Structure 1
Amino acid sequence: MKYNIFGKTDFKVSDIGFGAWAIGGTAWGGGRNDEDAKAALRASMADGINFYDTCDSYGDGHSEELIGEFFKGIRKEVVIVTKGGTNFRVPERSKNFTRDYLMMSLDESLQRLQTDYVDVYLLHVPDSKWQDEAEIFKTMAEIKKSGKARCCGLAMWGAADTLHALEKDTEGAIEALECPFNILNKSNIEVIKIAKERNIPVFTSQPLASGILTGKYGVDTKFTDGDNRKGFWSKERFEAVRDDMRIIEECVGETGLKMNELALAYNLNYPGICSVIPGGKNEGQVRQNVAASGIELSAEIMRKLASVKGFVF
């Protein structure tokens, strides 16, 4: 396993992290299977992963509970990221980035994680309106000063809101960024560039495009009710990226890598990306993810993958 310095901090993180949304038991199909989740966590530790990304709303707190129980007694051996700002207590799962709500959410996360601090606390997709009206940068600074988080940052989606935050953050409150990035979705290229210039570590969500870049799904796939991909990955959307997938498959053939390894390696070879956080619902998926650590892609393969147009998620 390869490890990278996390921005301006003094800790190192594995270049392959553990995305813990799936083990929360909702949004990705198949329901909750805690035994598989525990096996995935055991495999991740055995293979050198020390970087774990969760959120209070993943499984309505269950993902945090699993991580808290698993790492009880060995807390200092791992780097834990969690997030707040999505109010999962109400049916519409609304956003709330007020100071009092975030402080309450962080305290509840710490209880579920069975720790008195997290290494990284991220605000979970605040749009530009919330950024301006809730004074989120002051709250982030207060959280860090409290000692309940070693550093703070943002988990974002669209580039426009992230660029707005980077422009408005004149005091350097943003010390970490999580954003989606993969061969099919390069919408955050400018974000990654600016973060690199400021030495803000970027770790990427959706590096496998919600599993599409494993090669397991295609135009005939029908995702089940409750699966986060249903509706988005329609037959029409698969057809829209047909030519892109041909380029990716050509690169798979030229490198001899599996598609998921190529996809993760693309992220890890991209300047400014500190770590990738693919999901791992079971031991097998974790082992597949870990296999991509340290893979170096040639300039020609990176050029071909850069030519993939994809689309903005």
Structure 2
Amino acid sequence: MQYTTLGHTGLVISRLAFGAMTFGEGQLVPGVMNKIDQSIADQMVNQALDAGINLFDTADAYTNGQSEMMLGKALGDRRDQAVIATKVGFRTGNAITNTGLSYRHILASAEASLKRLGTDYIDLYQIHIPDPLTPPEETVRALDDLVRRGLVRYVGFCNLQAWRAARLLGLQERQNYARFVGAQMYYSLLGRDLEHEIVPFVEDTGIGVLVWSPLAGGFLSGKYTRENPTPEGARLNEFKLPPIDVEKGYEVVDVLKEIAQNHGATPAQVAIAWMLTKPFVSSVIIGANKMQHLDDNLGAIKLNLSASEIDQLETLTKPQLLYPGWMQAMGWDAKVKASLDAEWG
């Protein structure tokens, strides 16, 4: 396993993280049923720990809280080896207040997550989605209170636009609150939108990125093909998240298969290995609903892509700049730049 620190913190985390979203028995979201019981969860968690993974990600909303409960039980007396990350924001009950990022809901959700996880503290507590109603001042105050009470060690965000994250971070710094150290975001060879605004933001602020769905919902594993676009039992058949350009996806998978063949690897391993070359990525979250999927994803950490292979994938999937992105280079005055280039060599 490879390790790094999460953003500008001293928290050492594995470059691969284990995602427990698939834990539980029942509906995850409409159209998607989880089928992992405690015995399989125990096997997966222990295999991940034995492979050197120490970061485990879950959320209070995953399968009605079952994911947190099963993860906590699976870790058991190995809790001290684990960095537990969980989230708040999605609906967790029938009451109208059982959702969002209000002070009330954040504190109640954190306390409930602690009970389900069977632990005294959460290592990384993340706001899962934006809340259009709660003032940001209220949200950051709630997160800071959890840290001051010792219930949470670090705080992070997921799925926010850069301007929203910047506003919250600015409030945290102004009030001397616990600041964001992690950003859990979707990123893959078929979804590089992150590079437009979020990547410059996190690089400037020292926030580490935790990637979810590095295989674009499983599409980059290669099981979706032109001949069989909807394989039986595949999650994207019913739950089309993240959105992808399918035709572009087939083109990318063809290249992944070619590179994989050169290494005796799989397309999924190549897709994850490419992501691990990104300096702004602290950890890549791998999930699984079968043990063989976990085995395969773990193999990505040993795969070293050549510079030409990385460049091939970069060129094929490079996102088109959005305005005002394509105006930014014009900020360099040609005469000044030429003078500085001569001076700096």
Which residue in 1 is equivalent to 2:164?
164
Is 1:47 aligned to 2:54, yes or no?
Answer: no
Equivalent-residue separation in structure 2 for 1:249 and 1:79 (angstroms): 33
Is 1:185 aligned to 2:191, yes or no?
Answer: yes
Q: Give the alignment's TM-score, normalised by structure 2.
A: 0.79
Which residue in 2 is equivalent to 1:146?
149
Q: Alpha-carbon deviation of 1:203? A: 0.9
Equivalent-residue separation in structure 2 for 1:214 and 1:223 (angstroms): 12
Is 1:292 aligned to 2:300, yes or no?
Answer: yes
Structure with greater contact order relative to length (CA < 8 Å, sep ≥ 6): 1
Equivalent-residue separation in structure 2 for 1:244 and 1:175 (angstroms): 32
Match of 1:308 among 310, 316, 319: 316
Matched position secondary structure for 2:287? coil
> Does the CA contact (< 8 Å) of 1:99 and 1:136 recur in 2?
yes
Which residue in 1 is equivalent to 2:91?
87
Letter in 2 for 1:261: Q
Which residue in 1 is equivalent to 2:246?
238
Q: Alpha-carbon deviation of 1:311? A: 8.3
5+ unaligned residues in a row in structure 2: which ranges?
174-178, 321-345
Q: Alpha-carbon deviation of 1:149? A: 0.8
Q: Alpha-carbon deviation of 1:193? A: 3.0
Which residue in 2 is equivalent to 1:20?
20
Which residue in 1 is equivalent to 2:278?
270
Name which of structure 1's ranges 186-195 and 27-36 shifts more when overlaid on structure 2.
27-36
> Does the CA contact (< 8 Å) of 2:102 and 2:134 recur in 1?
no
What's the RMSD between the two structures over aligned residues?
Answer: 2.9
Matched position secondary structure for 1:281? coil
> Does the CA contact (< 8 Å) of 2:136 and 2:168 recur in 1?
no
Is 1:249 aligned to 2:252, yes or no?
Answer: no
> Does the CA contact (< 8 Å) of 1:180 and 1:206 recur in 2?
yes
Instruction: From the superposition, tell whether residues 293 and 91 of structure 1 become closer, same or farther in structure 2 (CA, over 3 Å).
Output: farther
> Does the CA contact (< 8 Å) of 1:84 and 1:123 recur in 2?
yes
Equivalent-residue separation in structure 2 for 1:98 and 1:91 (angstroms): 14
Q: Give the alignment's TM-score, normalised by structure 1.
A: 0.87
Letter in 2 for 1:169: L
Higher helix share: 2
Matched position secondary structure for 2:62? coil
The CA deviation string for residues 69-118 of structure 1, in whole angstroms up to 9 with x for no partner, is 12222221110000011113239998411011010000000000001101
Which residue in 1 is equivalent to 2:327?
none
Matched position secondary structure for 1:308? helix
Name which of structure 1's ranges 277-286 and 115-124 shifts more when overlaid on structure 2.
277-286
Q: Answer with 1 or 2: which has the greater Rg.
A: 2
Letter in 2 for 1:89: G
Q: Alpha-carbon deviation of 1:121? A: 0.2
Matched position secondary structure for 1:178? strand
Equivalent-residue separation in structure 2 for 1:187 and 1:265 (angstroms): 19
Q: Alpha-carbon deviation of 1:310? A: 8.3
Higher strand share: 2
Letter in 2 for 1:122: Q
Which residue in 1 is equivalent to 2:267?
259
Which residue in 2 is equivalent to 1:216?
223
Name which of structure 1's ranges 285-294 and 217-226 shifts more when overlaid on structure 2.
217-226
Equivalent-residue separation in structure 1 for 2:284 and 2:231 (angstroms): 25
Give the share of equivalent positions with the same residue, in percent. Answer: 24
Instruction: From the superposition, tell whether residues 58 and 311 of structure 1 become closer, same or farther in structure 2 (CA, over 3 Å).
Output: farther
Equivalent-residue separation in structure 2 for 1:131 and 1:217 (angstroms): 40
